[in-house]
Structure formats: structure tokens, C-alpha cells
Amino acid sequence: MTSSDCAFKSTGEIDRIEKEVDELVKDIKEAHPEMGLTVKLHLIAAHLVPYLRAHYVWGRVCDQGFEHVHVLFKRLHVRLAPMRDTVGKASCFIEAFTNYNILFDSGEFCKE
């Protein structure tokens, strides 16, 4: 996408981005029905357009932040692999990422 810059977006541009993201997700689901969405694609598909509508700007996007979340996600996925209860596992993921957020916001996460 060429729209991932710091320029302010008009409502029309945001509508176009929303349509393109929706089409991308639909195409990926059709091409790979057995696969789920990756964390990166989920972040864009579920959170980008509401963010754009609230702020009218995409901001700076770099892969480093996504990669960091991906590393944390993979680490948890391995740690929680023995759990068979998918609802319980999802709850553990949410709790862990909430705790990461609290630790990061307080400055404790960076003191490893």
C-alpha cells in the first residue's frame, strides 16, 4: 500500500483504504481458507481504519513494532501449546499481553 505515510487522509482516502484492506483480507481468505489471519494482518484489518477515522493520519509504521509483538506472541504460543482449552488459552494470551502493556507503561518491561 502506498498510503502508509504521515500525510493527513481525507474521508475519501480512508474509505478507499478500508475497501482495499477488506478486499485484501477477502482475497487471502479465499486463496488460503485453511489459514487464519496473521497477527500483522489482524492489526491492519481490525485496527487501522478505526485509527484513521479517529486521527486522519496513519502515522509512522515500521515492521519493528509488529516483529516485537510477533516474538512475544510466538513465545506465548510455545509456552501455552499444551493447553487444549482454546477459550482458556485465548484468555491467557489476553492476560499476558495486558500485563506486558502495564509493565511497558510503567517502565518495568525495559529493565530485563
Per-residue pLDDT at 17: 94
Query: Residue 51 in contact with residue 18, Cβ under 8 Å?
Result: no
Give the chain's length. Answer: 112
**Would you state the pLDDT for residue 61?**
61
Successive 10-residue mean pLDDT values, the chain, 112 residues: 75 96 92 80 87 84 69 90 92 90 76 54
pTM assigned to the model: 0.56
**Which 3 state secondary structure label does DSSP give 57?**
strand
pLDDT of residue 82: 94
